[in-house]
Amino acid sequence: MSGEGELGPGSASKGKRKGGYQQGGGGDRKRTRRDFPRGSRGWLLTVSTPGKGREATKELITLLQDFLPPADEEAAGGEAGGVSAALASELSDMRTQIKQFVPIYDVVKSAHFLRLDTPQTDKESKDQAAEMRDEDEDEIMEIPDEEDDSRPSELAWKLFDRTVNTKVANSRFINRLLPIDYICRPHMENFTRLARQLIPRHFTPAPAKPQAEEGKADGESAAVAAPPPPSAPESFCTWKCEFNARSMKTIARKDVYAAIEELIDKRHKVNLTNPDRTILVEVNPRFCGVSVLREWSRFEGYNLGKLLGTVPKTHLGNDVDKKGGKAEKGGRMDVETEDAAAPVQQPGEG
């Protein structure tokens, strides 16, 4: 007879199934490709009250609807059809806008994602669900030459700008609201490829490294002059990098700083307190998200709850247990970050 503490045959499959994120599993890969297809973008939001992720997501959808363009530009004109037609058009626009949002709960503990869908994103999602491709080279979409004004960072800027000016926003549960314009897999090689496309669009590129001129004998070399970057003072804005790793260590902070430093001209100075532009890098088991944001300091680090005064004091401090990777009891969440009173020195800083 088995002892009291022994398990009988097949008993391991009984009982409650253990939760948690199992990295590398086939099911997780399928879920990630379904939830975050190629070309995904949206907002990562944290909540000020545990268990209020769904309520916070609904609040965000309501707030963002004020800034989304009409789904049908011809219907938006409202020239023909009278009042009833205008009302029908408005209702149709509201339904279409709501369908654009896809909430994804608990990306990591107490952090949720609201995906902004486009017809292209929807098509990619269906194609990937059918094919389940694993090739890295097809994973990152080409960034368009001109970024559109409906990208998450622009919509979030409009929301925060209005909130700062009016001190009013219909939100009780949203804490931080971080726009994610571009997504790749949470690995360094994927981040590097994405950064090489994105960073030069917002900063003066670093001069190309000298190369040996062809046709020279061994031991002889001649530097090939790179075209000089723009010299206008306004082109050399200040910057900082905001790096957050949530339950993921596949991308290191120092490697991200080194990769970005190689892409930005040294005349762009680092400013940790009030930068002109902030490069946001968010890493978690589901994706790596990158955005270039404006007015980080004015918007309190894109913290809507802090602007409105709706966040408890325990959520404003740096209450992270760095050794264990988990937040202390009552803390915000497991984010790798430095103490604001002693910021880490970033690349290019004297």
Each residue's pLDDT tens digit, 43-90: 999 998 889 999 999 999 999 988 887 654 444 444 445 666 666 555
Higher per-residue pLDDT: 295 or 234:
295
Backbone angles phi, psi at 280, to 5 degrees: -95, 125
In the chain, how many domains are there?
Answer: 1
* 150 band by pLDDT with thresholds 50, 70 and 90: confident
Alpha-carbon distances of 336 from 20, 283, 284, 303, rounded to whole Å: 19, 10, 11, 17
Query: Residue 83's pLDDT is what?
Result: 65
Q: Do the Cβ atoms of 127 and 139 come closer than 8 Å?
A: no
Residues in the chain: 350
pLDDT greater than 90 at residue 140: no
Query: Residue 13's pLDDT is what?
Result: 46
pLDDT greater than 90 at residue 186: yes
Query: Residue 100's pLDDT is what?
Result: 86
Burial class from Cβ neighbours inside 10 Å (0-12, 13-18, 19+) for residue 304 reads buried
> Which residues is 320 bridged to in the sheet?
327
Q: Within a domain: residue 75?
A: no
The predicted-structure confidence for 243-272, as pLDDT tens digits, reads as follows 999 999 999 999 999 999 999 999 999 999
Q: Within a domain: residue 77?
A: no
Query: Residue 57's pLDDT is what?
Result: 95
The predicted-structure confidence for 151-179, as pLDDT tens digits, reads as follows 999 999 999 999 999 988 889 999 999 99
C-beta neighbour count of 247 within 10 angstroms: 21
Q: Within a domain: residue 283?
A: yes
Q: Within a domain: residue 2?
A: no
Sequence-separated (6 or more) residues with CB below 8 Å from residue 270: 238, 239, 240, 346, 347, 348, 349
Query: Residue 37's pLDDT is what?
Result: 87
* Least confident window among 28-37, 110-119, 284-293: 28-37
Alpha-carbon distances of 19 from 16, 22, rounded to whole Å: 9, 9
Query: Residue 231's pLDDT is what?
Result: 38
Please tell me the distance from the alpha carbon of residue 107 to that of residue 343, in angstroms, as a whole number: 27
Full residue range of the structural domain in which residue 287 is found: 25-69+85-206+228-318
* 143 band by pLDDT with thresholds 50, 70 and 90: confident
Query: Residue 206's pLDDT is what?
Result: 82
* 136 band by pLDDT with thresholds 50, 70 and 90: very low
Backbone angles phi, psi at 244, to 5 degrees: -130, 125
Q: Which helix (DSSP H) or strand (DSSP E) does residue 288 occupy?
A: strand 288-294
pLDDT greater than 60 at residue 212: no
* Least confident window among 92-101, 161-170, 179-188, 264-273: 92-101
* 315 band by pLDDT with thresholds 50, 70 and 90: very low
Please tell me the distance from the alpha carbon of residue 128 to that of residue 121, in angstroms, as a whole number: 10
CATH number, domain with residue 274: 3.30.2130.30
Q: Do the Cβ atoms of 245 and 335 come closer than 8 Å?
A: yes
Sequence-separated (6 or more) residues with CB below 8 Å from residue 275: 237, 238, 239, 240, 296, 297
pLDDT greater than 80 at residue 277: yes
Higher per-residue pLDDT: 119 or 207:
207
Nearest to 181 by CA among 255, 258, 289, 62: 289
pTM given for the model: 0.69
Percent of the chain exceeding pLDDT 70 equals 56
Q: Within a domain: residue 154?
A: yes
Q: Within a domain: residue 215?
A: no
pLDDT greater than 80 at residue 17: no
Query: Residue 346's pLDDT is what?
Result: 57
Please tell me the distance from the alpha carbon of residue 14 to that of residue 7, in angstroms, as a whole number: 10
Q: Within a domain: residue 130?
A: yes
Please tell me the distance from the alpha carbon of residue 306 to that of residue 55, in angstroms, as a whole number: 18
Query: Residue 86's pLDDT is what?
Result: 61
Query: Residue 144's pLDDT is what?
Result: 67
Backbone angles phi, psi at 65, to 5 degrees: -60, -25
Q: Within a domain: residue 61?
A: yes
Percent of the chain exceeding pLDDT 90 equals 44
